[in-house]
Structure 1
Amino acid sequence: MTPRPSDQTRPPYASPQKKPHGLSPLPAWVEAYFRRTADLRAALRLGALVVWVPLSVGFEACLLLVPGTPKIRWTRVIWGVLCRIIGLQIHVVGQRVGTVGGLKARQRGERPVIYICNHMSWLDVPVLGTILPSVFVAKGDIEKWPIMGLVSQIGRTIFVSRQRSTTGRERDEMIRRMVEGDNLVLFPEGTSSDGSRVLPFMSAFFAIAKLPRLKEGMDKSLLPITFEPGMTPLIQPVSLVYDRLEDLPISRLRRPVFSWYGDMDLGPHVWALLKWKRSRATVLLHEPLDPDMFPSRKALAQAAWKAVSIGAAELRQNRKPTVIKGRFNPATLPVNFLPPSVKKAKRILDRTASFFASIRIRL
Structure 2
Amino acid sequence: MPGLRACARLLRLFAVLGLGTGMASCIAMGERLGLSTPFERRQRWSRWFMQRLVAALPFEVSVHGALPQRPMLWVSNHVSWTDIPLLGMLAPLSFLSKAEVRQWPLAGWLAEKAGTLFIRRGGGDGQRLREQISAQLAEQRPLLIFPEGTTTDGRSLRTFHGRLLAGAIDQGIGVQPVAISYLRDGQSDPIAPFIGDDDLVSHLLRLFAQPRGQVRIELLPALASAGKERAVLALQAQQAIHQALFGAEQLAPRPRSHAKAA
CA contact (8 A) 2:42 2:115 kept: no
Residue 175 (structure 2) pairs with residue 239 (structure 1): no
Kindly state the Cα deviation for residue 298 of structure 1 after the two structures are TM-superposed.
0.9
Q: How does 1:129-278 map to 2 (within 5 A)?
A: 129-163=88-122, 166-211=125-170, 227=171, 232-243=172-183, 245=184, 248-249=185-186, 251-252=187-188, 255-278=189-212
Give the corresponding residue for 1:11: none
Q: Determine the C-alpha separation between the residues in 2 that align with 1:165 and 1:188.
A: 16
Residue 262 (structure 2) pairs with residue 303 (structure 1): no
Q: Determine the C-alpha separation between the residues in 1 that align with 2:239 and 2:86.
A: 22
Q: CA RMSD in A?
A: 2.1
Give the 4+ runs in structure 1 shifted more than 4 A. 162-165
Of 22, 30, 36, the match for 1:58: 22
Q: How does 1:89-128 map to 2 (within 5 A)?
A: 89-99=60-70, 112-128=71-87
Which deviates more, 59-68 or 191-200? 59-68
Give the corresponding residue for 2:219: 285
**Count of aligned residue pairs for this structure pair:** 241
CA contact (8 A) 2:27 2:113 kept: no
TM-score by length of 2: 0.84
Q: Determine the C-alpha separation between the residues in 2 that align with 1:118 and 1:199.
A: 8
Q: Determine the C-alpha separation between the residues in 1 that align with 2:18 and 2:115.
A: 16
CA contact (8 A) 1:60 1:74 kept: no
Q: Determine the C-alpha separation between the residues in 1 that align with 2:122 and 2:194.
A: 25
Percent identity, please: 28
Secondary structure of the 2:97 match is strand
Kindly state the Cα deviation for residue 272 of structure 1 after the two structures are TM-superposed.
1.1
Kindly state the Cα deviation for residue 60 of structure 1 after the two structures are TM-superposed.
4.0
CA offset digits 1:43-70 (Å, max 9, x no partner): 1111222222132232145357333633
TM-score by length of 1: 0.62
CA contact (8 A) 2:43 2:115 kept: no
Q: Which ranges in structure 2 are unaligned for 5 or more consecutive residues?
A: 29-35, 249-262
Evaluate the alpha carbon distance shift between residue 154 and residue 67 of structure 1 in structure 2; reply closer, same or farther with a 3 A threshold.
Answer: closer
Q: Determine the C-alpha separation between the residues in 1 that align with 2:121 and 2:197.
A: 20
Q: Determine the C-alpha separation between the residues in 2 that align with 1:141 and 1:233.
A: 28
CA contact (8 A) 1:60 1:75 kept: no
Secondary structure of the 2:218 match is strand
CA contact (8 A) 1:115 1:237 kept: yes
Task: Return the letter of the residue paired with 1:56.
Answer: G
Q: Determine the C-alpha separation between the residues in 1 that align with 2:182 and 2:161.
A: 23
Q: Which ranges in structure 1 are unaligned for 5 or more consecutive residues?
A: 1-36, 100-111, 212-226, 318-363
Kindly state the Cα deviation for residue 165 of structure 1 after the two structures are TM-superposed.
5.4
Q: Determine the C-alpha separation between the residues in 1 that align with 2:224 and 2:78.
A: 22
Which deviates more, 304-313 or 136-145? 136-145
Q: Determine the C-alpha separation between the residues in 2 that align with 1:137 and 1:131.
A: 16
Kindly state the Cα deviation for residue 175 of structure 1 after the two structures are TM-superposed.
2.1
CA contact (8 A) 1:98 1:183 kept: no
Evaluate the alpha carbon distance shift between residue 164 and residue 270 of structure 1 in structure 2; reply closer, same or farther with a 3 A threshold.
Answer: closer
Q: Determine the C-alpha separation between the residues in 2 that align with 1:61 and 1:179.
A: 28
Task: Return the letter of the residue paired with 2:127.
Answer: G
CA offset digits 1:164-188 (Å, max 9, x no partner): 6533333222222222231111111
CA contact (8 A) 1:57 1:154 kept: no
Evaluate the alpha carbon distance shift between residue 68 and residue 257 of structure 1 in structure 2; reply closer, same or farther with a 3 A threshold.
Answer: closer
CA contact (8 A) 2:43 2:92 kept: yes
Q: Determine the C-alpha separation between the residues in 1 that align with 2:57 and 2:218.
A: 21
